[in-house]
Amino acid sequence: MTKFFPFWWENQPNYSESNGLTKNTDVVVVGAGFTGLSAAITLAKSGVSVVVFDSEELGNGASTRNGGMLGSGHKVSPQQAEEKYGLDVAGQIHKEANASLAFTTNLIKENNIDCDLQICGRLRASWIPQDQFSMSENLKKLKTIDDFNSRMIDSSKMSESINTDLYFGGQYYEDHGSVQPRKFHYGLHQLAINSGAKVFGNMPVKQITQLSADEGAGFIVSVANEFISCKDVLIATNGYTRSSLSKYLSRRILPVPSFIITTDEIGAERVNSLIPGGHCIVETRKRYCYYRPTPCGKRIMIGTRAAMHSMSAEKALPVLKKTLSEIFPELDGVNISHCWTGFTGFSFSMLPNLGCHDGIYSAMGYCGNGVAMAPYLGHMAALKILEPDKKVTVFEGTSLQTRPYYYGFPWFLPIVSVYFNVYDKFDNYRRRKNL
């Protein structure tokens, strides 16, 4: 019987709630995911008092619902970044992508966070031959920017990484890895508490009021039936940003759902026969499938776009089962242990952003690449709060954009779903044409 909640939640310890809600603090952080907790850790270790609020139970959001793939990527190519931001900024964008991976990996190692960290590498598989050529050209460009520990894999060598005939080669990222995301989130929570931060779940922030237009005047934060005064506020809600909290941010972040399943235990031998490299794997096709062995090595987790709009996990399950059997026909009919969904936050620029609007800081817009980037940008947001006149990251310059037709409710995503369903057929046609 399939369970409709994340596999990662099984048999995990409960979060401990902080006691003694204070009336005054230096910083209020809204959102207790990877971003908010990382910011709280840096602030608290710097001697700043910080309180973190989450509208749901701790660990209920996207930080524990993702695939746990730890990488340095984002969805903007070197050429696209160069055209939009210029050569220098484009280089900084890609260098900081690498820096986010190094930061988060070191954060786990230096603090002994028990989250099943595996530096297993990531393979980006080419859906059509043209994708293989494009990735090869991109890699040449990236290697002129920074030391990208990556290489191309010819189609004849793909069987060493994955047992399927779907792909025309791929690009392998040596330093990428994976974590058990719920364990990672729990470890960050414990680290934040131990550093002196207070973290509260089931306490949605209702309103943030600036005391005056003067810089540094501070804010009154309304939460539950309490009012907390603070000097600074950081909103770190990403795909769960509500219009009632910030109309400005909700118009600039699209809540795009992700859908994931895990198989029943099929045994380490069978998993190894299908993914002999043990890598995390993503695709170049628009459907954007991503999959990996679970940390125990006895199951396969796979995520894909069942729809661009919100849909129940129950309705998404048949789509994910079909996708699994298309990649691995041997798994047709295998039982699915868990199926779930959650929201990631997409920016219109397809890049993350660290910003400040009306004195309120924000860090979000990870576009499905948040496991490494969110803790990194949370740390950078904390540094910005500590030294507001200092530029701390290139992602301060990737401004959050909006569109005239978007006011915080993504009414158009069902239409986008239809478009992508048509594009899936085109993707499949292009692949068949190249066989």
Is pLDDT above 70 for 215?
A: no
> Is the dihedral angle over the CA atoms 198, 201, 202, 203 positive or is it negative?
positive
Residues 369-408: pLDDT tens digits? 999 999 999 999 999 999 999 999 999 998 899 999 999 9
What is the rounded average pLDDT of the residues 194-201? Answer: 97
More confident residue, 418 or 376: 376
Quick one: pLDDT at residue 121? 96
d(CA 320, CA 340): 11
Quick one: pLDDT at residue 47? 98
Share of the chain above pLDDT 90, in %: 81
Quick one: pLDDT at residue 235? 98
Confidence category of residue 270, pLDDT binned at 50, 70, 90: very high
Is pLDDT above 90 for 224?
A: no
What is the rounded average pLDDT of the residues 100-117? Answer: 98
Confidence category of residue 426, pLDDT binned at 50, 70, 90: confident
Is pLDDT above 70 for 144?
A: yes
Confidence category of residue 325, pLDDT binned at 50, 70, 90: very high
Is pLDDT above 80 for 60?
A: yes
Model confidence pTM above 0.85: yes
Is pLDDT above 70 for 248?
A: yes
> How big is the chain, counted in residues?
435
Quick one: pLDDT at residue 80? 85
Domains located in the chain, CATH noted: 7-434 (3.50.50.60)
d(CA 88, CA 392): 16
Quick one: pLDDT at residue 87? 86
Confidence category of residue 77, pLDDT binned at 50, 70, 90: confident
d(CA 274, CA 342): 27
Residues 283-302: pLDDT tens digits? 998 888 999 999 999 999 99
Is pLDDT above 80 for 434?
A: no
What is the rounded average pLDDT of the residues 256-264? Answer: 96
How many other CB atoms are there within 10 angstroms of residue 152's CB atom? 16
User: Do residues 359 and 87 make contact, with C-beta atoms less than 8 angstroms apart?
Assistant: no
Q: What's the mean per-residue pLDDT of the chain? A: 94
How many other CB atoms are there within 10 angstroms of residue 356's CB atom? 16
